[in-house]
Structure 1
Amino acid sequence: MTSPITFTAAGGGSSSAGAPASLQPAYLELREPPAGGGTANPGASLGKIKFQFNPKELSLAKNAKWKREAQRNAKKSGPPEFTGSDPSKLTLEMFFDATDTMDDKVVKAVEQLFSCCVPTEKSRQGKKGSPPWVIFQWGGLTSFPAYVSGVTAKYTLFTPSGTPVRALCTVTLEEISGEQGGQNPTSGALAARDVHVVVAGDTLASVAYRAYGDPALWREIADANEVVDPMRLRPGTRLLIPALEELEGRHGQ
Structure 2
Amino acid sequence: MITKLTITPCDLDAQGNVTGPRTSEAFTVRLNPSNYTRNFEITYNTTKAMGAAVMQPRFNGAGEKKMEFDILMDGTGVVPPTSPNSTAIDVDTQLGDLRKVVYTLDGEEHEPNTVMLVWGSFSFVGKLSTMSVEYTLFKPTGDPLRAKVKLSFIQYIGPTEAANAANLRSPDLTHSVDVQAGDSLPLLCFRIYKNSAYYLEVAKFNGITNFRNIKPGTRLNFPPLR
TM bucket, shorter chain: 0.5 to 0.7
Would you say 1:120 and 2:106 are equivalent positions? yes
Q: In the alignment, residue 151 of structure 2 is paired with which amino acid? A: V
* Aligned ranges 1:67-146 → 2 under 5 Å: 67=46, 69=48, 74=53, 77-83=54-60, 88-100=65-77, 105-115=90-100, 116-121=102-107, 123=108, 128-141=109-122, 143-146=123-126
C-alpha distance 151-69 of structure 1, shift in aligned 2 (>3 A): same
In structure 2, runs of 5+ residues without a counterpart are 79-87, 163-226
Aligned partner of 2:198 in structure 1 is none
Separation in structure 1 between the aligned mates of residue 24 and residue 156 of structure 2, nearest angstrom: 17
CA drift at 1:64 = 3.4
CA radius of gyration, larger in? 2
Separation in structure 2 between the aligned mates of residue 61 and residue 177 of structure 1, nearest angstrom: 15
Separation in structure 2 between the aligned mates of residue 52 and residue 64 of structure 1, nearest angstrom: 35
CA drift at 1:95 = 0.4
Give the 3-state SS of the residue equivalent to 1:42 in structure 2: strand
* Aligned ranges 1:215-234 → 2 under 5 Å: none
C-alpha distance 152-46 of structure 1, shift in aligned 2 (>3 A): farther
2:38 to 60, 64, 89: 60
C-alpha distance 40-53 of structure 1, shift in aligned 2 (>3 A): closer
C-alpha distance 157-95 of structure 1, shift in aligned 2 (>3 A): same
In structure 1, runs of 5+ residues without a counterpart are 1-18, 181-253
Give the 3-state SS of the residue equivalent to 1:144 in structure 2: strand
Root mean square deviation of aligned Cα: 3.0
Aligned partner of 1:176 in structure 2 is 156
Q: Deviations over 1:69-95 (max 9, x none)?
A: 278785xx4321235568611101110
Q: Deviations over 1:179-205 (max 9, x none)?
A: 57xxxxxxxxxxxxxxxxxxxxxxxxx
Give the 3-state SS of the residue equivalent to 2:110 in structure 1: coil
Give the 3-state SS of the residue equivalent to 2:31 in structure 1: coil
CA contact (8 A) 1:87 1:176 kept: no
CA contact (8 A) 1:117 1:150 kept: no
CA drift at 1:154 = 0.6
CA contact (8 A) 1:87 1:177 kept: no
Give the 3-state SS of the residue equivalent to 2:26 in structure 1: strand
Using the size of structure 2 for normalisation, the TM-score is: 0.56
Number of aligned residues: 150
Identity of aligned residues (%): 21
* Aligned ranges 1:195-234 → 2 under 5 Å: none
Q: In the alignment, residue 39 of structure 1 is paired with which amino acid? A: N
CA drift at 1:113 = 2.4
